Structure 1
């Protein structure tokens, strides 16, 4: 006959059940190719207000370890009309791009800026602008400037007609993919959406 259990001895705790799926080991940003930040802002016709929003997000992303930060189309401003957009547009050597080049250098981060309202070299003869996607490296150098080929014109029932081509020149060429710390970045196409490979999912087709 078995002896009764000694109440002064606590039973050994049972081991916890093994997990069904082992957690994946953490992947460092270096092993993954670097972190990418995608910022979304509500831009207005106030360029200084937009700069404060965007630069704060870039600094926040860089502090979190991002190697490349994407800012959206019209990050510089949203004009109230086509004529207003033409009046606010700047060349690539203007104050807005100069500030972002300095920001990239200060934060040691690459910047994808798309699209910038650019007064191109033909501004004096055409009076029209380009919708220009800019890529800056972490030294602040302008690595690529892609001028949008497929302009957005739409006339929907019950909505104002939109005609980007009425005041914007189309670009003339696609650019080859650019090597960045997080992979290759290629020019936007249709849909107009920057793409990074291989560590970041592509935008929906």
Structure 2
């Protein structure tokens, strides 16, 4: 296992159709690979970002038919890089459920899908500024956590709102994850208030690298996302970040041995105790 890994987070402002989304993200991935990245990660909603229900229904298709997913698989094989599609919004394969899946896809350097993860925690909130979201109305939540092997270590998969559930990240770390992906389309109000704090907390708690590519800016459907794609080290330090919402590439080199050092210094993953529940 190599001790150094060149990665790139792709920050996007994804359009409302898969074809336009592929045209938007592909040049950024090519640029990242030409700069030496071996592992490239994109945000939540890489293939389509559209919350107006009628247009969303017209835009999404199955994973096997999605233009962006198919194009990104071909691109990974062409460039010889591993690629995490942070999430694709695709039709659910659950019979009788008309909702979509919000699905991370880990692609290897041959273009093969080596792991899938459907977002566990859907974003049903009422924000102080009056914004209301009911992701559960259109997205069927997943029912299982996912950790996948890569050439550089194990990768834990999460998506956006999952960041607020520490026990999920702890379980991923205990399953051997040395890196945890948190691709997101964070709202501007919650991003400004909580994004960096939550990212650093999840890294500190798990002693893992946190890799968080994000959507940023004002989208076609009227929503505004926070951006600020960030890489956090296992000691909680910010390794690299964008300080804006514009589409961009955030590059970092990961010293994978830092995971063992952090976990040896504070071995909290081995210190769980059984206890009586609070009443």
Q: With the length of structure 1 as denominator, give the TM-score of the two structures.
A: 0.75
Q: Is structure 2 residue 156 aligned with structure 1 residue 179? A: no
Q: 1:80 to 1:170 in 2, by over 3 A?
A: closer
Distance 1:85 1:56 in 2: 24
Q: Is structure 2 residue 62 aligned with structure 1 residue 97? A: no
Deviation at residue 32 of structure 1 after TM alignment: 3.6
Distance 1:127 1:186 in 2: 28
Instruction: Say which structure is richer in helix.
Output: 2
Deviation at residue 139 of structure 1 after TM alignment: 0.3
CA contact (8 A) 1:35 1:182 kept: no
Partner SS, residue 174 of structure 1: coil
Q: 1:198 to 1:191 in 2, by over 3 A?
A: closer
Of structures 1 and 2, the one with the larger relative CO (CA 8 A, separation 6+) is 2
Q: Is structure 2 residue 28 aligned with structure 1 residue 57? A: yes
Distance 1:104 1:45 in 2: 23
Partner SS, residue 34 of structure 1: strand
Instruction: Say which structure is richer in strand.
Output: 2
Matched residues, number = 173
Counterpart among 198, 201, 204 of residue 233 in structure 2: 201
CA contact (8 A) 2:47 2:69 kept: no
Partner SS, residue 149 of structure 1: coil
CA contact (8 A) 2:92 2:98 kept: no
Q: Is structure 2 residue 131 aligned with structure 1 residue 120? A: no
Distance 2:43 2:128 in 1: 27
Distance 1:188 1:127 in 2: 23
CA contact (8 A) 1:146 1:187 kept: yes
Partner SS, residue 191 of structure 1: helix
**1:145-156 pair list within 5 angstroms:** 145-156=116-127
Q: CA RMSD in A?
A: 2.6
Partner of 1:167: 138
Extract unaligned runs of 5+ from structure 1.
1-29
Q: 1:80 to 1:181 in 2, by over 3 A?
A: same
Q: With the length of structure 2 as denominator, give the TM-score of the two structures.
A: 0.56
Q: Which has the larger radius of gyration?
A: 1
Partner SS, residue 51 of structure 1: helix
Deviation at residue 31 of structure 1 after TM alignment: 5.2
Deviation at residue 33 of structure 1 after TM alignment: 3.1
Q: 1:44-100, CA deviations, whole angstroms, 9 ceiling, x for partnerless residues?
A: 214333212211111111111111100000111111413322321121211322111
Distance 2:80 2:235 in 1: 26
Partner SS, residue 39 of structure 1: strand
Distance 1:57 1:166 in 2: 32
Distance 1:203 1:139 in 2: 33
Distance 1:87 1:162 in 2: 20
CA contact (8 A) 1:185 1:194 kept: yes
